[in-house]
Structure 1
Amino acid sequence: MSLYQVQKLLYHLNRDDRVKSAYQENLAALLDDYDLTSEERGAIETGDIGLLYVLGVNGQILMHYAAYLNIEWFDYLELMRQSIRQHGPVRAGVYAMTGGGASFTPEGGA
């Protein structure tokens, strides 16, 4: 996995108007500039916020990408929850899950 490359791309997308233009005009060419796995590339091509979360993208970077895609806050949170159910626990990064992905908060039904 090339988590650093995904986060670098999304960071640049948030801050650089040239990257925003490239994203709109020729996404495939833009993605070629980054060393991404096919799973990462597919998640960006489809705007799959949940999968990007499971892959380990930092939430601060990811929420800006969600806003860029016009995803509302509560929808953004739900996409992350759904993705954990679909793809399993967060695999890498600061949000990597331990304990088999079990929730340790009251909303988890504990």
Structure 2
Amino acid sequence: MSRYQVDKLLRDIRRDNQLAARFRDDIDGVLGNYKLEAEERELLKRWEIRKLYDRGVNPLLLLLAHGPAGKHMQDYSTAMNPGNVRGGE
């Protein structure tokens, strides 16, 4: 996994509102601008942040890019804390 490229993408969509909008509207086009492995592309397209984290992607960048990527904070919390549901399991 080329963690650097994934981290760079996450940092870029956090910093650049136009890129974040393109990421939401044309994810394949944006991903094509980064040297990502096929698995990384698929994880990013499905926004499987827990799997990205488990593979060493910076958790702070995942958190900070979550909103600009068009995702809801509750989805982030659920993905990063599986089984930790309020009120028990």
Q: TM-score range by the shorter chain?
A: 0.7 to 0.9
Structure 2 unaligned segments of length 5 or more: list them.
84-89
Greater Rg over alpha carbons, structure:
1
Going by fraction, where is helix more abundant, 1 or 2?
A: 1
| Structure 1 residues without counterparts, runs of 5 or longer | 82-110
Q: How does 1:4-83 map to 2 (within 5 A)?
A: 4-68=4-68, 69-72=71-74, 74-79=77-82
Q: TM-score, normalised by structure 2?
A: 0.78
User: What does the per-residue CA deviation read over 1:14-65, in whole Å, with 9 as the maximum and x for residues that have no partner?
Assistant: 1101211211221101000000011111111001011110121111101123
- Mapped contact 1:5–1:35 kept (Cα < 8 A): yes
After superposing on structure 2, the runs of 4+ consecutive aligned residues of structure 1 that deviate more than 3 Å are: none
Give the whole-Å Cα distance in 2 for the aligned partners of 1:67 and 1:32.
21
Q: Percent identity at matched positions?
A: 29
Inter-partner Cα distance in structure 2 for 1:74 and 1:45:
18
The structure, 1 or 2, with the larger RCO (C-alpha pairs under 8 Å, 6+ apart) is 2
